[in-house]
Amino acid sequence: MSLETSLIRGVSKQFGVRSTDMKYGGQVDGDCLRKTAVWDFNYDSLPVGGATNQEHVIPANSVILSAKLRIITAFTSTSTTTDLTVGLEQSGGTDIDVDGLITAAQATQTTIAVAPSVIDGASGTPAALINATIGTADGELIVQSSAADLLTGRAQVIVEYLIPAAAP
């Protein structure tokens, strides 16, 4: 793979095969305002904002409509207290809300150990970013484990959001 950068517009054009990792996320087709983003990841490679320049970005002032954590392969760990949190952070590492999409109370060791299953960020006590704006900074996905002892697991995060309306 090679890159060519245009000095006038400051954009890069890629040539050849480009390997991607869905851990960085991507957008699924949607209408002009409602968007859906999907991230796939394994237990040993949890998404973190700003890790590369490939992360999918949810634009500033977007409103999160829903967030789901789909467990594809059950998560196991060496302890019984490991849970996951799913949220957003800026590319520089500044937190927007690290459990604003899925809280630890929703993604407990018991719920992430069952596959296939879906954990909804709006169920029970909704996570803070559900039906709320993400604020004035672009957001990138962050998934954290409460303990660094995960042994197995594969999941997918699906976030549906409204992009900010253009100013009149």
SS (H, E, C) 51-90: CCCCCCCECCCCEEEEEEEEEEEEEEECCCCCCEEEEEEC
Phi and psi at 24, nearest 5°, equal -85, -10
User: What would be the CATH architecture of the domain defined by 22-162?
Assistant: Sandwich (2.60)
Specify whether the CB–CB gap between 128 and 33 falls below 8 A.
no
Distance (Å, rounded) from C-alpha 118 to C-alpha 71?
6
Query: What is the rounded distance in angstroms from the CA atom of residue 58 to the CA atom of residue 37?
Result: 8
Residue 3, pLDDT above cutoff 60: no
- Count of CA atoms in the C-beta half-sphere (13 A) of 146: 18
- pLDDT value of residue 31: 60
Note the pLDDT tens digit of each residue in 156-165.
999 999 998 7
Give domain limits for the chain. 22-162
One-letter identity of residue 14: Q
Query: Which tens digit of pLDDT belongs to each residue from 120-154?
Result: 999 989 999 999 999 999 999 999 999 889 999 99
Contact between 46 and 145 (Cβ < 8 Å): yes
